[in-house]
Amino acid sequence: MQPRSVSLFHFTKSLEILKSVLKNGFWPRYCLEDVEWQGREENDFIAFPMVCFCDIPMSRISEHVNFYGSFGLGLTKEWGAKNNLNPVFYFSGDNPLHGALKSLTRTISGLEGAQNKKGLMDIRYILAHSKPTKGRMIIGGEPVIKDFYQESEWRYVPQKKGVKDYLRSEDFSDKSKLDNLNSITQEKCMLEFLPSDVKYIFVPTDSEIPAIMNFIQTELDSFPSADLKLLMSRVTSLESLSLDT
């Protein structure tokens, strides 16, 4: 069995979001992350700006889409590497590897001035790509236990001037503040792609294929005709794939 897909997949629950991604690119938004595994006393959750992908093989995709949604895209890993996507680091517990990260954080905290600021930003960037093998995820305002390691996650975490690198949970809960900071990532950090980067465009059923085809023809007409034909050739339904897996 193939342990990984050669593509990077991103799924969502909405056709409208899929259309927006096709037209504008991926919008990095602040997402709450379980950081209890880091041994923090002051925060159980911290939010980082990100877009999440996975490289789960098609044979295992059904559980993933049942949780995250059945509309999605598959893009090449070459595109991912070019745009600084990286697989997530999974930590199995408070082991020596985690201890080394904590030790490094303490060392950096003892520095002063610009070295301290830059060092802590670098540590937070590493932590923004880190997860426990199993932990909590907020769904509908409630924590749900999830086996993260099975998700084979990749992330895009933007580093741009003027973009806050993390939010505490109380700031994430402030809708006005959150909306303002997400609008900054929309302005500065959109993750774009070309039609040639796309390997799959997923919809749940065959009956939804005409709608996405029509959208490609009418709303993406800034691309050359050959690119539109390429995109339309990438459209498939999860319904049809399920018959072959």
Helix or strand holding residue 24 (H, E)? helix 15-24
What global pTM score does this model have? Answer: 0.91
For position 43, what pLDDT does the model report?
67
Residue found under tokens 């490609």 = 216
For position 2, what pLDDT does the model report?
55
Cα radius of gyration rounded to whole Å, the chain: 19
CA distance 17 to 66: 17
For position 1, what pLDDT does the model report?
45
Mind listing the pLDDT tens digit for each residue in 201-239?
999 999 999 999 999 999 999 999 999 999 999 999 999
pLDDT, average across residues 91-112: 88
Mind listing the pLDDT tens digit for each residue in 55-79?
998 888 888 898 899 999 999 999 9
3-class secondary-structure state, position 131: strand
Query: Are the CB atoms for 203 and 72 separated by under 8 Å?
Result: no
Between 159 and 143, the higher pLDDT residue: 159
Mind listing the pLDDT tens digit for each residue in 114-130?
999 999 999 999 999 99
| CA terminus-to-terminus distance, the chain | 12
Average pLDDT for the chain: 92
Domain locations in the chain as residue ranges: 7-242
Structure tokens at 82: 């070019």
pLDDT above 70 for 151: yes
3-class secondary-structure state, position 162: coil
pLDDT above 50 for 180: yes
Structure tokens at 17: 């979001």
pLDDT, average across residues 136-163: 91
Conformational region of residue 152, where left means phi above 0, alpha means psi within -120 to 50, and beta covers everything else: left
